Amino acid sequence: MVVLERAIFWFACALLLFLVVTLFGQVFWRYVLLEPLQWSEEGARFGLVWFSMAAACTTALEGQHFVFRWATLLISPAARFWLRRALDVLSVAVLLVVFKLSLDYLHLVAGQTATGIQLNMRVPYAAVSFGAMALIVIYAAETADAVLSVWTGRTFSARELNETQVYGQLRPSAVPKE
């Protein structure tokens, strides 16, 4: 999981750098050299789609999706644990549907090309398939780790360890009294 986390993080970093350089270049060429780049707007748009999916995967790895701690603070830690598992399974089910539909859509755009950079439209739309599949792997691995931790008493999930730490800090007894 660490390899996947690092790969997605660095992929998102590279995409963010691409966006910054491309958009800065577009502004420079358009307003300083008075000759706008033909490909930069479309390239940045496609890069943003890929970046958003990579960023969604990074936040899922950190456990920042579907965090409603104010609503779950009142239930027991065991109930919170199983609620997170139910949400993980529900997320995987929804993502499987999104993944299937995104693959079907890739067939629809197979013959189309982007006007500015002459790129096959499968490339930008493949970001949805990539993101859905990566999120499926992330949530399935989290679920498997959590279920195995019930029997082994040990978790390898950074997300689960973070949740335990955060709820420990949010406990009413952890709040200093005046």
pLDDT-derived band at 94, boundaries 50, 70, 90: very high
What are the Cα distances from residue 130, in Å, to 49, 54, 104, 171? 11, 9, 14, 38
Asked if the model's pLDDT at residue 81 lies above 60, the reply is yes
The predicted model scores a pTM of 0.82
Residue 172: pLDDT band (50, 70, 90) is low
Residue 173: pLDDT band by 50, 70, 90 thresholds?
low
* Residue 150 pLDDT exceeds 80: yes
Where residue 176 falls among pLDDT bands split at 50, 70, 90? very low
Q: Give me the pLDDT at residue 1, please.
A: 65
Percentage of residues in the chain having pLDDT higher than 70: 94
122-152 vs 40-61: helix axis angle to the nearest 10? 10
**Does the pLDDT at position 27 exceed 90?**
yes
Computed from CA positions of residues 61, 8, 138, 119, in that sequence, does the dihedral angle turn out positive or negative? positive
Q: What is the mean pLDDT of residues 114-121?
A: 88
At 106-116, the pLDDT tens digits run: 999 988 998 88
